[in-house]
């Protein structure tokens, strides 16, 4: 794990890339910030989380780092981190980031536009979301599965398609907007209202078949309307839903998540429920 603190004083914010080694955009953004000769108001911690996986171009070495943290609702002081490469990284990240507002950079196989993901968001994280160049905010308080954003105060961003040049550009833009929004670096910010979605449930995927997804994420799928095909057969849900992080091959056992539009995050960083 590579960690560098720039500026002076106690670090209040952090930017983390390479939580998944096959998502190079976050590492690119961290490297750009390291090379940018920033002069932060306080100090900023920059992290390349899983350098080994990044070098190998794989999601993880032994276990998914973004499932190795204390799950939401559990006592983190009683949690035993895995004795694996990623378990040890999770423990170091937990110790390093628990007292900092962190931007965690990810990319997807599902959606080209950047969006933010938060768990039990407080005012400060909602204010950051309002100031980021994202098209949507997703409240992912469920499911509880040991992701980093359940254990440390995090705004996660999905910056675009894994490995794309657009995702790399978005990652740099989002990390600079994050530093401006938190006041770590003095720069103008633009706050706008964003649609807020709540993740409801995983959409299961049968094992060992051929898959295709035929809908766009963040667009409502009516009940009974095919959203995918499995071995060429249409695949639908009994209730309407908004697909989020839905792709053919992004996850082993699910297509992604079913979500509901619940309101908006206003320009002031307040939730305005429908």
Q: Which residues, 163 to 222, sit near Zn ion by CB under 5 A? A: none
Residue 168, H or E segment: helix 165-181
Cα radius of gyration rounded to whole Å, the chain: 18
- Cβ within 8 Å of residue 264, ≥6 positions away: 193, 194, 195, 196, 271, 272
Contact segment (CB under 5 A) with Zn ion among 18-26, 147-155, 212-220, 253-261 equals 18-26
When the beta carbons of 139 and 156 are compared against Zn ion, the nearer one is 156
Q: Does position 20 bind Zn ion by CB under 5 A?
A: yes
Q: Does position 28 bind Zn ion by CB under 5 A?
A: no
Closest contact distance (angstroms) between CB of 106 and Zn ion is: 3
Contact segment (CB under 5 A) with Zn ion among 22-30, 197-205, 211-219, 240-248 equals 22-30
Mark 207-243 as b/e (b = at least 16 C-beta within 10 Å). Answer: eeeeeebebebbeebeeeeebbbeeeeebebeeebbb
When the beta carbons of 164 and 191 are compared against Zn ion, the nearer one is 164
Q: Which residues, 85 to 114, sit near Zn ion by CB under 5 A? A: 106
Closest contact distance (angstroms) between CB of 224 and Zn ion is: 32
Closest contact distance (angstroms) between CB of 16 and Zn ion is: 11
Closest contact distance (angstroms) between CB of 19 and Zn ion is: 6
Instruction: Give residue number: closest CB to Zn ion.
Output: 106
Determine the 3-state secondary structure of 244 from DSSP: strand
Starting at the earlier edge strand, list the strands of the sheet with 211-213.
Answer: 211-213, 228-230, 233-235
Closest contact distance (angstroms) between CB of 78 and Zn ion is: 27
Which stretches of the chain bind Zn ion, using CB under 5 A? Answer: 20, 23, 106
């Amino acid at each position: 794990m590579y960690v560098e603190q720039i500026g002076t004083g106690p670090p209040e914010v952090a930017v983390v890339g390479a939580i998944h080694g096959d998502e190079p955009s976050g590492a690119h953004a961290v490297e750009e910030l390291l090379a940018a000769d920033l002069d932060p108001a306080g100090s900023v911690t920059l992290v390349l989380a899983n350098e080994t996986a990044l070098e190998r171009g794989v999601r993880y070495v032994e276990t998914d780092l973004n499932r190795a943290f204390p799950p939401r609702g559990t006592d983190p002081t009683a949690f035993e981190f895995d004795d694996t490469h990623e378990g040890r990284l999770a423990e170091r990240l937990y110790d390093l980031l628990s007292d900092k507002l962190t931007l965690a950079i990810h990319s997807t196989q599902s959606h080209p536009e950047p969006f933010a993901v938060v768990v039990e968001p407080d005012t400060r994280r909602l204010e950051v979301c309002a100031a980021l160049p994202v098209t949507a905010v997703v409240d992912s308080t469920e499911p509880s599965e040991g992701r980093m954003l359940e254990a440390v105060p995090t705004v996660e961003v999905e910056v675009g398609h894994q490995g794309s040049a657009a995702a790399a550009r978005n990652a740099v833009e989002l990390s600079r907007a994050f530093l401006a929004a938190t006041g770590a670096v003095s720069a103008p910010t633009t706050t706008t209202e964003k649609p807020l979605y709540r993740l409801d449930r995983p959409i299961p995927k049968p094992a060992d078949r051929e898959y295709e997804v035929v809908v766009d994420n963040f667009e409502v799928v009516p009940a009974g309307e095919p959203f995918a095909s499995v071995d060429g057969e249409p695949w639908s849900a009994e209730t309407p839903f908004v697909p989020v992080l839905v792709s053919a091959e992004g996850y082993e056992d699910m297509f992604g998540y079913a979500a509901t539009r619940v309101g908006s995050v206003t320009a002031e960083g307040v939730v305005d429920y429908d």
